[in-house]
Amino acid sequence: MAEDLDLHTVGDLLHHYPRRYAERGELTAMSDLPLDEHVTVVAQVADARLHTYSGSRGRGQRLEVTITDGTGRLRLVFFGKGVHKPHKELLPGTRAMFAGKVSLFNRRLQLAHPAYALLHGDGGEAVDAWAGALIPIYPATTKLESWKIAKAVDAVLPRVHEAVDPLPPALREGRGLADLPDALRGIHRPRTGADVADARERLKWDEAFVLQVALARRRYADAQLPAVPRVPVPGGILDAFDERLPFTLTDGQRAVSKEIFDDLATDHPMHRLLQGEVGSGKTMVALRAMLAVVDAGGQAAMLAPTEVLAQQHHRSITEMMGDLAQGGMLGGAEHATRVVLLTGSMGAAARRRALLDLATGEAGIVVGTHALIEDRVRFHDLGLVVVDEQHRFGVEQRDALRGKGSHPPHLLVMTATPIPRTVAMTVFGDLETSVLDQLPAGRSPIATHVVPARDKPHFLARAWERVREEVGDGHQAYVVCPRIGDDQDEQGGAGSAARAAEKTGSAEAAEDAGKRPPLAVTEVAGQLAEGPLAGLRVEVLHGRMHPDDKDAVMRRFAAGETDVLVATTVVEVGVNVPNATAMVIMDADRFGVSQLHQLRGRVGRGSAPGLCLLVTDVPEAAPARRRLAAVAATLDGFELSRIDLEQRREGDVLGQAQSGVRSSLRVLTVVEDEEVIAAARAEATALVAADPDLERHPELRTALDALLDAERERYLEKG
């Protein structure tokens, strides 16, 4: 159980809650089963047929069972020696629980070799085991079915009174919440739907409150740290930079800059999250903050997740600053500093020069990748750290960079992935949040369309015609693929699935064998250059290229010397080519909603309107097509991020994407439970202000250790 579901203790098991409940006599709805996910259904056998077939190893048997819930039907398939037991037990009219992975075969949903437990039958044992009004359906795995988890829970429920209650009695009573033992009994073995509702309300509070206490303690500790105030100096580099700007800052940029400057002037470290739509001008706001710190005698570091992005930021910052970035050099302005680049692939001489400029303070601004974190990097006086695309960095990396200041530096985190307020409060509750929701003047609209390549091949042909038309009008285009190609493991994917199908004879493996691997940059570029885009200048860009080659490709594309750039998601953030107006995303269903929105933001950055085409082979009824339709329907990143969260598992919100450890959320839904999260934040802030070390709340301290574990606690402490 520990291996399959990460359940190690009685407490882990008690907090492994049912995903839903089936009522005895009620047939569970099967109308919206998720493809490729492990599910448990309660249904009745409508039909069972045994077929004999001839294969490469002689004659074999296949049992096909159709189950129904009164509104939909689902096929179960069993092969070879596995047909005998279900052939005897799964007779028409039999009701049972079935568990397996949903696959698609001949355009029909099915479960191959599902596990099952009869709910009535010859033994009567199942009826006794499932006595009660509601049948809990637990999150399960192929190796560990829901009904086995239920039996394990039955064994530990008598010890439920030993559970440590994290909520202070005054809070619990003041909000009319159930006792913890009652809530745990209510969620695992409810008699009515009201029992479930009461239990969930209480358990949501546990999760929200413990998490908010951890974040409140982090905020409190940060407020006690000393930091050097960095007050902008009139008549310095910032004023000179502002005077030269060829455009006016938006109201949003001015307001956010004021929030940042106010934070920089305080004597404890700024911790601010700057989020904004693609192209809303976050880099401009960050650069002005860095210049303010340089004016105040400090240095600023910008940490980027990839070398392509670090080079892009360095190039755009030096271009925007002009002679203000040539401090101590011939032709440098009166008020000037140096802007250096530091990446892992730099030559030894350039690297030594950059390190010396940082150590002496000659360089006021450094842009780099994780190479900035290495022990050899020394700063003269690091005052501000700007982290771009925060979710791509590990906690240890961010903490190591912040540790390079003689005093804790101020921290500005930027993300172009819009985050709903509830998620910001839950995931980034220790950061003050600024939002740029205004696009600068001159940004153009982007039209987005889904291209169903398999159903309507002529739509794909028209997509390539549109790319040629854009290039004919003097513009450029991106083609994005999910895979690089030229890799043995990648190419072996389809072959391994075919071998698995031959070995097992299972329909599921056969279905996997029928799936082609994701489209690859190296293959698609060649096909386009020889086919529909023949005659155009086509180049490739991906993460395995040498950094100098990547930079050269981007420079040629930015200079208009390349018509079509076929790339992986290395172009997802930071790449700014205003003349690129079209983007074709191949196998778009293999990307997430937020990632598609990020990619789309690479076009429409100039005066000409943008076009984004989402190419897919998935059928119209598939959930992936609904995701693509949502992206095509709106350019509102905050709306899309909400849709993305509603469609993903809750664990993704606080799981590995954020902290590298398992999510602690089981019943709290951050998109929907805004009121609970906000109320818990207020209660937690007040409690921590009165008792920072939780000396008067030992149960809460224990729950904090258990729910967030030591690894997550370190994550929250480091931010």
Residue 24 has pLDDT above 60, yes or no: no
Residue 107 φ then ψ, to 5°: 65, 20
Mean pLDDT for the stretch of residues 479-492: 69
Classified as helix, coil or strand, 439 is coil
Per-residue pLDDT at 715: 47
**What confidence tier does 492 reach under pLDDT thresholds 50, 70, 90?**
very low
Question: Quick one: which of 589, 659, 663 has its CA closest to 626?
Answer: 589
What pLDDT does 48 receive?
93
Q: DSSP labels for 37-75?
A: SEEEEEEEEEEEEEEEEEETTEEEEEEEEEEE-SS-EEE
Sign of CA dihedral 701, 707, 713, 719: negative
Confidence check: pLDDT of 333 > 50: yes
Q: What is the mean pLDDT of the chain?
A: 81
478 φ, ψ (degrees, to nearest 5)? -110, 145
- pLDDT tops 70 at residue 175: yes
Per-residue pLDDT tens digits for 104-150: 888 788 988 888 888 764 444 444 444 345 778 887 776 777 778 88
- pLDDT value for 23: 67
Q: What is the mean pLDDT of residues 582-610?
A: 89
Facing residues of 367 across strands? 302, 341
Q: Cα torsion for 37, 42, 46, 50, to the nearest 10°?
A: 50
Q: What is the pLDDT of residue 509?
A: 37
Q: What are phi and psi of 579, to 5 degrees?
A: -80, -10
> What is the average per-residue pLDDT within 428-435?
76
Lowest pLDDT segment from 198-202, 233-237, 367-371, 706-710: 706-710
pLDDT at 520 over 60: yes
Stated as kind and residue range, the H or E segment containing 656 is helix 656-659
What's the DSSP call for residue 178?
P
Please say if the pLDDT value at position 538 is more than 90. yes
Instruction: Name the residue type at position 617.
Output: D
Residue 703's contacts (CB-CB under 8 Å, 6 or more residues apart) are 164, 165, 166, 206, 210
> What is the predicted pLDDT for the residue at 472?
96
Nearest to 196 by CA among 204, 187, 188, 205: 187
Q: If you search the block for the tokens 């609970």, which residue do you land on?
A: 676
- Quote the CA–CA distance of 477 and 585 in Å, as a whole number: 11
For the record, the structure tokens of 593 come out as: 């909603």
Question: pTM of the full predicted structure?
Answer: 0.65
Residues 6+ apart with CB under 8 A from 243: none
pLDDT bracket for residue 327 (50, 70, 90)? confident
Span of 169-178, 382-391, 418-427, 598-607 with lowest mean pLDDT: 418-427
Give the span between the Cα atoms of 455 and 453, in whole angstroms: 6
Query: Is the pLDDT score of 627 beyond 60?
Result: yes
pLDDT mean over 48-57? 81
Q: What is the pLDDT of residues 558-572, one digit of tens each?
A: 999 999 999 998 877
Cα separation, 715 vs 719, in Å, equals: 6
**Is residue 650 very low, low, confident or very high in pLDDT (cuts 50, 70, 90)?**
very low
Residues paired with 612 in a beta bridge: 448, 583
CA 587, 588, 593 angle in degrees (round to 5)?
150
pLDDT number for residue 502: 35
> Between the ranges 24-38, 397-411, 504-518, where is the mean pLDDT highest?
397-411
Look at the block and give the residue holding tokens 């909603």: 593
Strand 432-436 and strand 108-112: the pairing is unpaired
Residue 516 or 613, more confident: 613
Distances (CA, A) of 511 to 65, 226, 498, 507, 551: 18, 60, 9, 6, 41
Instruction: Determine contact, residues 166/211, Cβ cutoff 8 Å.
Output: no
Share of the chain above pLDDT 90, in %: 37
Q: What share of the chain is helix, strand, coil (3-state, %, to 5)?
A: 45, 20, 35
Determine how β-strand 73-79 pairs with β-strand 564-567. unpaired
Q: pLDDT at position 1, please?
A: 52
Residues 675, 673: Cα–Cα separation, whole Å = 6
Using CA atoms, how far apart are residues 64 and 531, in angstroms rounded to an integer? Answer: 45
Run of H or E including 581: strand 580-585
DSSP H helical segments within 296-411, as ranges? Answer: 307-321, 348-360, 395-402
What does the pLDDT read at residue 505?
Answer: 36
- Pairwise pLDDT comparison (511 vs 256), residue with the higher score: 256
Tell whether the model's pLDDT for residue 174 goes beyond 50: yes
- Give the pLDDT band of residue 515 (cuts 50, 70, 90): low
